[in-house]
Structure 1
Amino acid sequence: MTARALLDTHLRIKPYIHNTPVLTSTLLNEIAETELYFKCENFQKMGAFKMRGATNAILQLTDAQKEKGVVTHSSGNFAQALSLAAKQLGVKAYIVMPSTAPQVKKDGVKTYGGEIIECPPTQQDREATALAIQKEKGATFLHPYNMKNVILGQGTAAMELLEDHPNLDYIFAPVGGGGLIAGTALAASHFSKGCEVVGTEPFEVDDAYRALQSGKLETNPTTNTIADGLKMALGDQTFPIIQQHVSKIIRVTEAEIIEAMRLIWERMKIIIEPSCAVPFAGLLKEKSTYANKKIGIILTGGNVDLTNLPF
């Protein structure tokens, strides 16, 4: 995926997304012993970076495809992103959601006009339900992360960050299915002077860490993490990009995620969701390695169930 493809993507989606702010915190710099630049995708439309990939994916469809609608399966943020992007572009969106998805995310999908079809919370059930809707409605399936146009869309967040701060040494991003970190790694490889990308993920769903060691896609036997946006495993399109361009992956505990989330809420006065705290948790865990560097952190989203906070 070329620099030109990323530039074209950014131009295409620009009218439909926010160029989100980059915030700094003197206190968090002191705690982390480094210079931090937080790209606030929690301020993106629908509250997460996934608006970028969803918008790009729909804009690349033919008129005939748009007429029959789109379908995806998602635990929350891509569900909301596709619903809102589809609404903005006059396209019907069918959203397959696991029954265990946070209520705040289900409410968001409904607000944005997506039609929810609930299924049991397994990958197999999600895929089977989405396939059935494809066949019944003729809708085009848009994968939440394992898809070129989605990856390119997600990469535009790092492009904007590097436009504002071209001298970053590292960008930290969380890893779930890999769409964001793959896009981020592409952006860094094309638009930076040697900025490295570091992935972060919970120990409870560490398939990406294991995949980089084994050289093949791995699965997660359980997904018992507070970081509900990171429960999926890498895909065959995201993994090769990560293999090529991501320098390392840091794993963090549930307690470390909660502590990082609390610090950002308390010190920066902004709302982030647990998945979003994982990169900062990873940096704090290995702060001696990154002391006195310039580090970008992508704050991926702020769609939190306020009735179910971890602190």
Structure 2
Amino acid sequence: MMTLDSIKQAQQRIAPYINKTPIVQSSLLNDWLGHRIYFKAECLQKIGAFKARGGCNAVAHLLEQGKQPKRIVANSSGNHAQAIAWAARQFNIPATIYMPSNVSKVKAQATASYGADIELLPTRDAVDTAVQNAAEDPDVYWIPPYNHNDVIAGQGTAAFEAVNELNNVDAVFAPCGGGGLISGSYIATKGLSPHTRVFGVEPLNANDAAESLRSGTIQSLKSAPDTLADGARTPSVGSITFEYLKQLDGFYEADEASIIYWTQWLTHLLKLTIEPTSAMTMFGVVEWLKTQSSAKEVVVILTGGNLDADSRRKLWQQDALTQLPSLNL
């Protein structure tokens, strides 16, 4: 198991390349909920998502160890693809990214714009098989989207920055797809502040992590999940990340109506472009706050802001802003 030192080393390694993103609040939301919510705005990160941290750390640490692959490969449905393409370009290494054909168009275009070669395949299984085959070449290095210690350590630097900057944080919430971010957030948060609780949130329609936690073994989705939270459509958590998920203080499953509701409200209140995968975390925040008897200070990792036109249309088909946020939702 990794420690806080892994996060600190990652922070030092990637500092010259990434943005130290701001922490923002909404006074209205704080008043309505009766608690103070701090949002770590990773939607303002390089490539528009926290994934830049893990991708950069993985590539930088590889070179730090004297390893120089001829090509880097990755498999991703979006933000990790951009992160590896961007990170590889920072260090002048060619990259190939394997992506499912239903990937967000804006994420695929952005990945290509960073100079990576893109290979679109019909299913997630085909993507995973293709990247594994490519990685058999000894001159090729594969950086998975979450089940990789350097990726996890890099992702954990977001929570590290937030908890380090704030005092007396009661809880940290982050979305869970494959579990890299929430694993890194757990390591960073508990290392800095052992009393602070750490919670994960995933879509109810893609709840493989919750099913895994309930069963005690890693469960995989049987088919492509129908959720707007495209950053959490991973078929299963990883063997590494699952060990951290089992240590979390709690885990929540957000339905699609709640994901849409909080995406609209956070976009409105914070004046930021916010992905549904980021916003769904507020479902868990509200569920937890309902059980609290005193005012709490909560950090929410806003993971990204890369939205294509189709997702925007689906998000705004109905107006959710007529119902004010409250703990009675």
Which residue matches 2:118? 116
* One-letter identity of the residue aligned with 1:302: G
Correspondence 1:265-284 to 2 at 5 A = 265-284=267-286
Identity level (%): 37
* One-letter identity of the residue aligned with 2:76: S
Aligned residues: 309
Task: Tell me by how many angstroms 1:206 deviates.
Answer: 1.0
Mapped to 1, the partners of 2:51 and 2:13 lie a distance apart of 15
Correspondence 1:148-159 to 2 at 5 A = 148-159=149-160
Task: Tell me by how many angstroms 1:247 deviates.
Answer: 0.7
User: Which 4+ runs in 1 deviate beyond 4 A?
Assistant: 62-65
Mapped to 2, the partners of 1:100 and 1:23 lie a distance apart of 32
Which residue matches 1:28? 29
Asked if 1 retains the 8 angstrom alpha-carbon contact of 2:69 and 2:139, the reply is no
CA deviation string 1:254-292 (max 9, x = no partner): 010000000011111110011011111222344312462
Correspondence 1:66-145 to 2 at 5 A = 66-122=68-124, 124-135=125-136, 138-145=139-146
User: Is 1:229 the counterpart of 2:247 in the alignment?
Assistant: no
> SS of the counterpart of 1:16?
coil
> SS of the counterpart of 1:15?
coil
Task: Tell me by how many angstroms 1:176 deviates.
Answer: 0.5
Task: Tell me by how many angstroms 1:126 deviates.
Answer: 1.2
1:298 to 296, 301, 308: 301
CA deviation string 1:203-246 (max 9, x = no partner): 111111122221111112231111000011210000001212x1
Asked if 2 retains the 8 angstrom alpha-carbon contact of 1:167 and 1:193, the reply is no
Task: Tell me by how many angstroms 1:137 deviates.
Answer: 8.2
TM-score between the two structures when normalised by the length of structure 1? 0.95
TM-score between the two structures when normalised by the length of structure 2? 0.90
Asked if 1 retains the 8 angstrom alpha-carbon contact of 2:69 and 2:141, the reply is no
List gaps (5 residues or longer) in structure 2: 317-329
Which residue matches 2:213? 212
* One-letter identity of the residue aligned with 1:305: D
Mapped to 2, the partners of 1:71 and 1:84 lie a distance apart of 12
Which residue matches 2:326? none
Which residue matches 2:15? 14
